[in-house]
Structure 1
Amino acid sequence: MTAPSGVVVLTDRLVARGGLDRVVAAAVAGGVRWVVLREKDLPRAERAALAADLRAILADVGGTLVVAGPDPLGGDAVHLPAAGPYPPPPHQLVGRSCHNQAELTRLTTEHYATVSPVHPTRTKPGYGPPLGADGLRKLVEVSRVPVLALGGIETPDQVTACVRSGAAGVAVLGAPMRSPDPTETATTLTSAYAKAVTPELTQTRCGVTPELTQTRRGVTQVPTSGLRPTVPTQGSSLTARSGHGRPQPQTATKEGK
């Protein structure tokens, strides 16, 4: 299982407009292929059922659900807090929240890390101080695993700056969860990421030759087209877990993670 890259959505059902699974389905329609399920206050059975719902949405496009905490809830991908557990559980994909160099150097078998906060964030006001682009770059340079930038990332320019600082992707919560149009928000952010990691083309005497303008640990080139599969946001019956049922896609478009 590859490490997350691109735009990764973190869930928060308490601020999701229109229900959590509808927001996730809309973000998937905008190009998102990685989702981290938080909702740690829910009972395990309810959270596991929600995980199954979100996995089904992501499965339609070959996406992946990562579960925050050591319990993968029937999957094999988890994201752990900086405080533990240590050593990490032996799942196929393990991420870790980090905030400084000491936490990054403590990593052992984790496959990726989030670094935060890059910018001030409404989700955790007063948390910081913010790293900014320079602080992010310094932590990326010392990390032995791909890094996702996290915290207050809401605009295309911020996505571009994070990629230029060496991040393999960005993790976002507020931008898609609070958006009146999560599909449009996701499309805008995924397009900014794709543009930031796509090599500029230079004309040569023999035609067009791709030229990499940057090198980034853990970042792979992605196409700028085909980022918006058709996943309708009108759905089925309501659920107590997220507020709405999973939209039923008209076509299933398989894409690589």
Structure 2
Amino acid sequence: MSAVGQPPVPRPVPAPAPWPGPGGPPRLLLLTDRSQLSLGRSLVGTVAECVEAGLRAVVVREPDLHPRARHALLAALARLPGLVVISSRLPDPAAHGVHLAAHQRPGRWATSAAGPVVGRSCHAVGEVRSAAAEGAAYVVLSPFGVSLSKPGHLPPLPRTAYAEAADAGVPVLALGGIGRDDVAAALDAGAHGVAVMGAVMRARDPAAEVAALLARLPPTRLPSTRCPATWASRTRGPTTRFPAAHLTPARAPAARATRARELSRPVDRSAGPPAPPLTRHDGAVDERTARDDARRPTRPDLT
């Protein structure tokens, strides 16, 4: 029987990747760049402060780190209660997922040890549609404005691009030159939320900047406080269990106590010898120091 005249068979569209933590994709996503931190401030300690201020998701960049140092960094951050840790471009078993660059295809990463491909960087509406068709849980669309972190990289996108991208059916986070005063414009343009790097990394008080950004964003759906949320960390060890109170900006005593218990777990050194550095000065400390640093007060910003 001839197939001429038969309607084309629709191609299956993959389901969106599940967000690897409680609730859906957050309204605020932090991207790291330890080179922008104030002198004397550590990346692990800074992110820990931001988690207490309400941060729920971080994309770890730091491409210059030695693989062991980067793994140690991801593992230390994954111990922070309520934080979804996403590895940028490179899979890592300590992360909850992978964030791909615009030029990377998800095929060979989809079943990586780092878990699902969660996010994708995009610079055009067509790239957002492709990411949605490939099952991304969220995308970042940039640049929204003039970025101090990447001056002259690309011209800002027209605001209409965010409304068009939102029609692709995947949460779109605006990235590039975003500060607290730009949140309303990003939301008005059609973005689900914002992704921020420099405004937090360069801030004198990064946690206060995170709190200010969250105050300008709609709340993200969170689990009921009557039913503690449980999700498995992809680091070696038992499942991380934490109450939903850890996901809110409130600095409850119970939240701090649980965080201290999580950070005091024995360190798994089966991956090899201690890793290189993580601070702005020289780039690394070993995994135990990175974990302890999250509990230690950081030196005041002197810049």
TM-score by length of 1: 0.74
2:70 pairs, out of 47, 58, 76, with 47
Instruction: Give the Å deviation of 1:226.
Output: 4.5
Residues 176 and 182 in structure 1, CA contact (< 8 A), matched pair in contact too: yes
1:20 pairs, out of 20, 43, 50, with 43
Deviations 1:64-110 (A, max 9, x none): 11110141343331100010134352333521100102212222122
Instruction: Give the Å deviation of 1:150.
Output: 0.7
1:207-218 residue pairs with structure 2 within 5 A? none
1:84 pairs, out of 92, 97, 104, with 104
Q: 1:109 corresponds to which letter in structure 2?
A: G
Instruction: Give the distance between the partners of 2:158 and 2:179, measured in 1 at CA.
Output: 14
Asked if residue 248 in structure 1 is aligned to residue 268 in structure 2, the reply is no
Asked if residue 6 in structure 1 is aligned to residue 6 in structure 2, the reply is no
2:187 pairs, out of 155, 163, 183, with 163
1:103-252 residue pairs with structure 2 within 5 A? 103-107=127-131, 108-141=134-167, 143-155=168-180, 157-194=181-218, 226-229=248-251, 240-242=277-279, 245-248=292-295
Residues 162 and 172 in structure 2, CA contact (< 8 A), matched pair in contact too: no
Structure 2: segments with no counterpart, 5+ residues: 1-17, 222-244, 258-262, 265-275, 281-289, 297-303
Structure of higher CA gyration radius: 2
Structure 1: segments with no counterpart, 5+ residues: 199-222, 250-257
Deviations 1:112-160 (A, max 9, x none): 111000011011101221025333223223x2311111111012x3112
Aligned length: 214
Instruction: Give the distance between the partners of 1:6 and 1:36, measured in 2 at CA.
Output: 14
Partner of 2:286 in structure 1? none
Instruction: Give the distance between the partners of 2:106 and 2:52, measured in 1 at CA.
Output: 36
Residues 36 and 68 in structure 1, CA contact (< 8 A), matched pair in contact too: yes
Give me the identity figure in percent. 32
Instruction: Give the distance between the partners of 2:172 and 2:198, measured in 1 at CA.
Output: 20
Q: Which has the higher strand share?
A: 1
Residues 32 and 62 in structure 2, CA contact (< 8 A), matched pair in contact too: yes
Instruction: Give the distance between the partners of 2:170 and 2:165, measured in 1 at CA.
Output: 11
Change (3 A) 1:95 1:75: same
TM-score by length of 2: 0.63
Instruction: Give the Å deviation of 1:5.
Output: 1.6
